[in-house]
Amino acid sequence: MWRIPQRMKRILFSAYCGSCGILLFANKVAWTIDLIGNSMYPAIHSNDKALIEYLTVSNYRVQKGDVVILKNPYKPTHLVCKRIIGMEHDYITNEDGKIIKVPKGHVWIEGDNKADSEDSRDYGPVPYGLLESRVFFRWWPTRRMGPIKLPGEEDILETRVKSGLYLSRSKESEEQ
């Protein structure tokens, strides 16, 4: 019968605890992701690498303009990256002029590159439960390293609202 030295036990215990800590951090706090596809161009290019965090989604703190990772409603085993355009109780005017109220517990998501994006315009409001994480920082390529935001964010959102495609407030708040 052999014995494990006390020092080796401490090393193994530390490695075990460290591994558990890394797994907990990766699954509950933040991690890195490869972003593939052109639906979020120009804000995100295909093959960008970014940091994602889970706390904003799990604490129901997402807001309009956030870029999120979510399960594709048509293919739940696939993840997609989109921007939140509308929150529950917002009114969205689609391309046919039809006004859609985002139901409670749902968000309206779209890709920044409308011509190359399958999003809420195709499958309607998305249940909040499909949201996985929020993309908050691009770390690769280094020449574009920094927080994820839409170039000219205010201009583009303002243009969408002015064009009548997106109403930013609920009808109730406009009546008050």
Q: Per-residue pLDDT tens for 100-112? A: 999 999 999 999 8
Polymer length in residues for the chain: 176
- pLDDT averaged over every residue in the chain: 83
* Confidence at residue 25, expressed as pLDDT on a 0 to 100 scale: 65
Q: Rounded mean pLDDT of 138-165?
A: 68
Distance between CA atoms of 132 and 82, rounded to whole angstroms?
A: 11
Contact yes or no for 14/32 (Cβ under 8 A): no
Q: Give residues with Cβ within 8 angstroms of 80, minimum separation 6.
A: 37, 39, 69, 70, 71, 72, 118, 119
The whole-model pTM stands at 0.74
Contact yes or no for 57/132 (Cβ under 8 A): yes
* Confidence at residue 171, expressed as pLDDT on a 0 to 100 scale: 47
Distance between CA atoms of 143 and 105, rounded to whole angstroms?
A: 38
Does 56 score more than 80 pLDDT?
Answer: yes
* Confidence at residue 66, expressed as pLDDT on a 0 to 100 scale: 93
* Confidence at residue 150, expressed as pLDDT on a 0 to 100 scale: 62
* Confidence at residue 162, expressed as pLDDT on a 0 to 100 scale: 47
* Confidence at residue 172, expressed as pLDDT on a 0 to 100 scale: 44
Residues belonging to the active site: 39, 82
- Name which of 45-59, 61-75, 160-174 the model is least confident about: 160-174
Contact yes or no for 148/50 (Cβ under 8 A): yes
